[in-house]
Amino acid sequence: MVAHMRVLVWHGNIETTARWQVAFGQNGHTVRRARSSETAMDYLRAEPFDMLIFDLVVGRESGLAVALMAEFHQPNMCSILIAGHQEGTHKDIEIESGLFARLASLRCVLGVETPVRDLVTIAEEILRKPQDRCDLLRQSVPQICASCEVSAGCLARSETSVSQMAAPAVPMVAPLRRRRQQQAQSMLSEPMS
């Protein structure tokens, strides 16, 4: 278990966030839940956090804006995106790919159906080894791949780069960021109809 961790949760599903708060609390961690982006940003300005767990959209507010604000106020914080599978969620990821690619604190993208105990274990392992690549993290927490929303790109990268294990650590979502940047560039270069 990692030392005491301070977690900020900004997600729309109240029941789910309550379960997360209980599970993190059982492991000795402190959790703050924000119900609005304004509250989340107030917490970020006032208190230190180790981890942000957020969704892309809560109500009609941008999770990316909150995550970028978190990164600005607390540059050493890690973040986990928990995609809520709302209609249009993946479209939002593609539309805001340029903005999303700039989110250096993001360590993984998980689905909302991720088991609560797995989420706690994954968050603790990320804080233990914040610079590890996904292929290294999955050796100690294989459940990261079971719940990952971008595992296809990640697994493909790690399988083709076995000989590059001595290379410097790269962010876990680098393949996703590259794909999103390519999608954004192709959307910009397409003629308007």
User: Which tokens in the block code for residue 134?
Assistant: 């996904």
Measured in whole angstroms, the distance separating CA 107 from the mean position of its chain's CA atoms is 5
- For residue range 24-73, list pLDDT tens digits in order: 999 999 999 999 999 999 999 999 999 999 998 888 898 888 999 999 99
| Three-state DSSP state, 136 | helix
Answer whether residue 89 shows pLDDT above 50.
Answer: no
pLDDT at residue number 151: 54
Q: What is the mean pLDDT of the chain?
A: 74
User: Which tokens in the block code for residue 155?
Assistant: 């697994």
Write down all domains in the chain, each with its CATH number in brackets. Answer: 6-189 (3.40.50.2300)
pLDDT at residue number 18: 95
Closest CA to 7 of 23, 28, 29: 29
